[in-house]
Structure 1
Amino acid sequence: MTAALDAVERTALLTAALRAAETLREDRLYEDPYAAVLAGEIGPALLAEIRNATFPAGRERSVPSTPDYNAIRTRFFDDYLQRAAEDPATTQIVLAPAGMDSRAHRLTWPDRVRWFEIDRPAVLAYKEERLGGAAPGVDHRKVAVDLTSPDWEQSLRAAGYDPTLPSTWLLEGLLYYIPEADAHRILQRVAAISAPGSRIAADIVNSAALTLPHMRALLDVFADWGCPWLFGTDEPEALFESCGYTAQALQPGEEGAGFGRWPDPVPPRTERDVRRVFFVHGRRR
């Protein structure tokens, strides 16, 4: 089944392998008992390549620590989604794309929540095969469609999504893999089917992270896999605000986005020509 996954789709197996590795740590930030089976054999091999680029033998690390970043990102969005679910008005949570995410299975959700997972058919088929009979602990709706298709909103509605009700969206590990125009288009389309007050969260890199020489070792791994990083922005709040949201952005290591695990200094936003990652979250106006 993994042979049916293309380069971008296989990055979901890398994420699963990172989550499986985090689950084995004594100081883990979360526990994902499904991650290892979802990663399969390919995920650990991809992770080995990332580790070789991140922690080169005989040289200091110059690129962000992908294992630490992924652990922080997963925990940050775990907490974000669970806080959103505490709001009695929250009845719809949408993961787009869903990848190998197992939050529907490993976390507890209120009975009122409908959980939608959007991803390409091959990804959802692989995931279903790997999970076997594992049952999610929430009203779980799979939407097998590409986010670049002209009518994915129709498929989402057919699965039971109601655009007149507030929703919470998570776009995790997506925006830097797509061209800038597509990033704007997806955010605009999400906003168009999100009621006022709806929540959104995503991660994104800055522009310099795509061009700085010391990032090349990591960027080359993704490019060699056939899924280069294509988009970054130094103004993530403005990006989301242009699409109809009020937004805030945190960098890993800042208060509320570090969990004691970010190993690098956090550069002030005024500093130029440094790599950054942002966790963006906002509300539909």
Structure 2
Amino acid sequence: MTDLLSAVERTALLTAALRAAESAREDRLYHDPYAARLAGDTGLRLLSRVREVTFPSDGRRTTPSTPDFNATRTRFFDEHLQQVAWCGHTPQIVLAPAGMDSRAYRLDWPSGARYFELDQPAVLSYKKERMPDAVPRVDHRSVAVDLTADDWEDPLLAAGYDPSLPSAWLIEGLLYYLPGEDVHRLLAGIAAVTAPGSHIAADLVNTTALTAPGTRPLLDVFADWGCPWRYGTEEPEQVFHEHGFTVEAVQPGDPAADYGRWPDPVPPRTVSGVPRVFLVRGRRR
């Protein structure tokens, strides 16, 4: 079944493998009981390659720690989605893309909430095959779409999404793989179907991260897999502002995203020429 997944889609198996490894730690930041079965052998192989370049045999790590980033990112977005769902009166949750995410199954959701998972047909089919008996804790709807297509919103609307109601969108693990024009097209499409006050969250990197020597070993791995990183920005707030969203961008290790696990310094935004990853959250104006 993994043969039907594209290179970018297979990175979802890497994410699942990272979540499985995190769930096995005594100091874990979350527990994902579905991650191991979703990762499969392919996810474990991808994780092994990432570990090789992140933690070389000589012990001198120069690349950012992918396991610690993934743990921080997952916990950050877990807390964000739970807060807006339970305290923000947000009846619609949309994951774009869904990948191997299991939040619909491992977290509690308010009665009446609708949870939409958007992704390519092959991804959704693989996920269903790996979790045949899993029961979601929410009104869960899988929607097969290509998020780079011009009409990806139509299947979402047909699945029962109501653009007049508040919603919370999560764009996790996607934007750096897209060309800039596709990033802006996706954000414009989301803005077109979100009511004022709706929430959005995403992760992305800065432009320096795409070329910095410290990140090059990791990015070379993704390029070898056929899914190079293409997009970054030094001003994520401005990118989202252009599409009607007011957001804040924090870095792993900042007070708003510090769970005691980020191992590296966090340079202030005023310092130029350093690679960064941003965790973004905000609302539709």
Give the TM-score, by structure 2 length. 0.99
Partner of 1:8: 8
Looking at structure 2, the residues matched to 198 and 32 of structure 1 have their Cα atoms a distance apart, in angstroms, of: 27
Instruction: Quote the sequence identity (%).
Output: 66
Partner of 2:74: 74
Tell me by how many angstroms 1:216 deviates.
1.1
Paired AA for residue 83 in structure 1: Q
Alignment of 1:40 onto 2:48: no
Tell me by how many angstroms 1:214 deviates.
2.1
Partner of 1:164: 164
Q: Deviations over 1:150-183 (max 9, x none)?
A: 2211100010000011100000001101011111
Looking at structure 2, the residues matched to 131 and 144 of structure 1 have their Cα atoms a distance apart, in angstroms, of: 17
Partner of 1:20: 20
Q: Deviations over 1:216-238 (max 9, x none)?
A: 10010000000000000000000
Looking at structure 1, the residues matched to 215 and 83 of structure 2 have their Cα atoms a distance apart, in angstroms, of: 34
Paired AA for residue 189 in structure 1: G
Partner of 1:217: 217
Partner of 2:61: 61
Number of paired residues? 285
Secondary structure of the equivalent of 1:99?
coil
Paired AA for residue 80 in structure 2: Y
Q: Any residues of structure 2 matched to 1:225-236 within 5 Å, and which?
A: 225-236=225-236
Q: CA RMSD in A?
A: 0.7
Q: Any residues of structure 2 matched to 1:126-275 within 5 Å, and which?
A: 126-275=126-275
Tell me by how many angstroms 1:89 deviates.
2.6
Secondary structure of the equivalent of 2:142?
strand
Partner of 2:101: 101
Looking at structure 1, the residues matched to 83 and 30 of structure 2 have their Cα atoms a distance apart, in angstroms, of: 16
Secondary structure of the equivalent of 1:41?
helix
Mean CA deviation greater in 143-152 or 40-49: 143-152
Tell me by how many angstroms 1:128 deviates.
0.2
Q: Deviations over 1:99-156 (max 9, x none)?
A: 0000000000011210000000000000000001111010000001110122211100
Looking at structure 2, the residues matched to 151 and 139 of structure 1 have their Cα atoms a distance apart, in angstroms, of: 24
Secondary structure of the equivalent of 2:221?
helix
Looking at structure 1, the residues matched to 157 and 189 of structure 2 have their Cα atoms a distance apart, in angstroms, of: 13
Tell me by how many angstroms 1:59 deviates.
4.3
Looking at structure 2, the residues matched to 249 and 150 of structure 1 have their Cα atoms a distance apart, in angstroms, of: 27
Question: Any runs of at least 4 consecutive aligned residues in structure 1 with deviations exceeding 6 A, and if so which?
Answer: none
Paired AA for residue 186 in structure 1: L
Tell me by how many angstroms 1:87 deviates.
3.0
Tell me by how many angstroms 1:213 deviates.
1.6
Looking at structure 2, the residues matched to 270 and 253 of structure 1 have their Cα atoms a distance apart, in angstroms, of: 16
Tell me by how many angstroms 1:86 deviates.
1.3
Alignment of 1:283 onto 2:283: yes
Secondary structure of the equivalent of 1:124?
helix
Tell me by how many angstroms 1:242 deviates.
0.6
Paired AA for residue 22 in structure 1: E
Looking at structure 1, the residues matched to 282 and 82 of structure 2 have their Cα atoms a distance apart, in angstroms, of: 15
Q: Deviations over 1:58-114 (max 9, x none)?
A: 141111100000000000000000000113631100000000000000000011210
Q: Deviations over 1:35-78 (max 9, x none)?
A: 00000110000000000010111141111100000000000000
Secondary structure of the equivalent of 1:256?
helix
Secondary structure of the equivalent of 1:141?
strand
Secondary structure of the equivalent of 2:257?
coil
Looking at structure 2, the residues matched to 227 and 195 of structure 1 have their Cα atoms a distance apart, in angstroms, of: 33
Looking at structure 1, the residues matched to 108 and 214 of structure 2 have their Cα atoms a distance apart, in angstroms, of: 41
Secondary structure of the equivalent of 1:170?
strand
Secondary structure of the equivalent of 1:213?
coil
Looking at structure 2, the residues matched to 25 and 87 of structure 1 have their Cα atoms a distance apart, in angstroms, of: 30
